[in-house]
Copies of this chain bind each other. A is one copy, B any other.
Amino acid sequence: MKLFKIADLEEVIKVLEEQKQENIYDEIPIEESLGRILFENIMSDINIPHFDRSTVDGYAINHKSVNGASEMMPIITKVAEKIKMNSIPEKEIKIGESSYIPTGGMMPKGADSVVMVEYTEKLSENDILMGKTVSPLENVNSIGEDIEKGELVLEAFRKIKAYDMGLLAALGIKNIKVHKKLKVGIISTGDEIIEYYEMPLPGQVRNSNSLSLCGMTERAGAVPYNFGIIKDDEEEIKSTLNEALSKCDIVLISGGSSVGERDHTISAIESIEGSEVLIHGIAIKPGKPTIIAKSGDKMIFGLPGNPFAVLVIFRTLIEKYINRFSEKDKFITALFDTNYHKAMGRSEFLPVKLEERDSETYALPLRVKSSSVAVLAKADGFIIIEKDKEGVSSGEKIKVYEL
């Protein structure tokens, strides 16, 4: 067994960033784009709006026509036309004239602003009293004001949100290129691990990590493939690993955390032809025995068995890799609720519960034993205490990453 230096979390992220798979894409209809990662920059080939439009129901005028108008001293304008929603105004507006215009209606020639209907009064079919001055462009959404032709609208590597779909529709775009959904193979190892629907004997443990990993994979926008439970045997691990590598882009092996099991996983990975172990051990707690390797352009992650370690490794490394490092970390700022001491030289993760008190958000650390499956259901998020820190003090401001 080769000896590897334990890597810092930041180094690991850098190594992973260098490996990111980014040259494969799908071309998909925008209807199916929610949560996908843009492969290309989206530029607008039109102005939005592509015509000057009113933002209110009212009367389109030249603003000079109502110079000095007020509720007490309204000014009369002659109605030139009643503009309809879906049509081009026919009449040009002159000073002293106005055309009724609905919200979204096209501004007539000669008009530069709209007086809201609330500030007008019909004297007759043709005469309208206006009780308010307007400035040029008031209540008008002018050509290209929202989006200019040629403008960069959405950048490559953006994860498409619901309203981005509306934006793409407004641009008249039918299909977009997005990064291919990665396929994630999930393997559990351990002689003591049994299927979750089996009844455990003393000494046996139900497989919970595979299902958590399937869920996290799905949530991250990749496609999980569950390869089940493999006995703690190098040859068996190797053969399932090879099968998973042939079908998936990423393979996750969640093992027991005993030394023996870790040895078999690393040996199996090293015995794969052309594989390269990039990371063997990370200076974090929990999650230290994590292995990261590649085989061609496929990635292999060897994870410890501890459910909280699996979660933090997935969230801080694997999810980022799946998302091609496209998303900024999202966190909530909270005040730490107690004093917590940790060892220097490694980063430490803690699950926390959030509490609102006196209009402040407090984060309370939850005690977690390495094998706990229940603590995460009680937690709202987790924090990372950086490796150079000795702990967190009560009242200290911290970043909480939501679960």
CB < 8 Å neighbour of A258 from B85, B165, B377: B85
Say yes or no for A242: interface residue by CB 8 A criterion.
no
Say yes or no for A361: interface residue by CB 8 A criterion.
yes
Asked whether A215 lies within 8 Å of B256 as measured between CB atoms, the reply is no
Interface 1/0 per residue, A279-321 and B, CB below 8 Å: 0000000000000000000000000010100010000000000
Interface of chain A residues 130 through 172 with chain B (CB within 8 A): 141, 145-147, 153-154, 160-170, 172
With contacts A49-B371, A104-B371, A202-B106 known, is A196 near B212, CB below 8 A?
no
Asked whether B311 lies within 8 Å of A205 as measured between CB atoms, the reply is no
With contacts A85-B258, A257-B104 known, is A31 near B162, CB below 8 A?
no
Interface 1/0 per residue, A339-372 and B, CB below 8 Å: 0000000000000000000010100000001111
Say yes or no for A177: interface residue by CB 8 A criterion.
no
Say yes or no for A208: interface residue by CB 8 A criterion.
yes
**CB of A397, distance to nearest CB on chain B (Å):** 7
With contacts A57-B258, A165-B214 known, is A361 near B333, CB below 8 A?
yes
Count of this chain's copies in the oligomeric assembly: 2
Asked whether A141 lies within 8 Å of B333 as measured between CB atoms, the reply is no
Interface of chain A residues 363 through 396 with chain B (CB within 8 A): 369-377
CA distance A160 to B106 in the complex (A): 48
Asked whether B146 lies within 8 Å of A212 as measured between CB atoms, the reply is no
A164 (CB) vs chain B CBs: closest residue: B377
Say yes or no for A30: interface residue by CB 8 A criterion.
yes
**CB of A204, distance to nearest CB on chain B (Å):** 6
Contact-residue size bin, chain A (C-beta under 8 Å from the other chain): 35 or more
CB < 8 Å neighbour of A377 from B153, B210, B307: B153
CB < 8 Å neighbour of A147 from B48, B105, B373, B402: B373
Say yes or no for A51: interface residue by CB 8 A criterion.
yes
Say yes or no for A247: interface residue by CB 8 A criterion.
no
Say yes or no for A4: interface residue by CB 8 A criterion.
no
In the bound complex, residues from chain B placing their C-beta under 8 Å from that of A206 are 169-170, 172
With contacts A86-B204, A208-B170 known, is A215 near B162, CB below 8 A?
yes
Asked whether A256 lies within 8 Å of B211 as measured between CB atoms, the reply is no
In the bound complex, residues from chain B placing their C-beta under 8 Å from that of A51 are 202-203
Asked whether A85 lies within 8 Å of B196 as measured between CB atoms, the reply is no
Asked whether A50 lies within 8 Å of B200 as measured between CB atoms, the reply is yes
**CB of A312, distance to nearest CB on chain B (Å):** 11
Interface of chain A residues 164 through 203 with chain B (CB within 8 A): 164-170, 172-174, 190-192, 196-203
- Kindly list the 5 A-B residue pairs having the minimum CB-CB distance in the complex, ordered from nearest: A162-B215, A166-B212, A169-B196, A166-B208, A102-B258
Chain A to chain B contacts (Cβ below 8 Å), 17 pairs? A34-B215, A51-B202, A104-B256, A145-B369, A146-B369, A146-B373, A146-B374, A162-B212, A166-B208, A166-B209, A169-B208, A169-B210, A170-B206, A170-B208, A172-B198, A173-B196, A331-B332
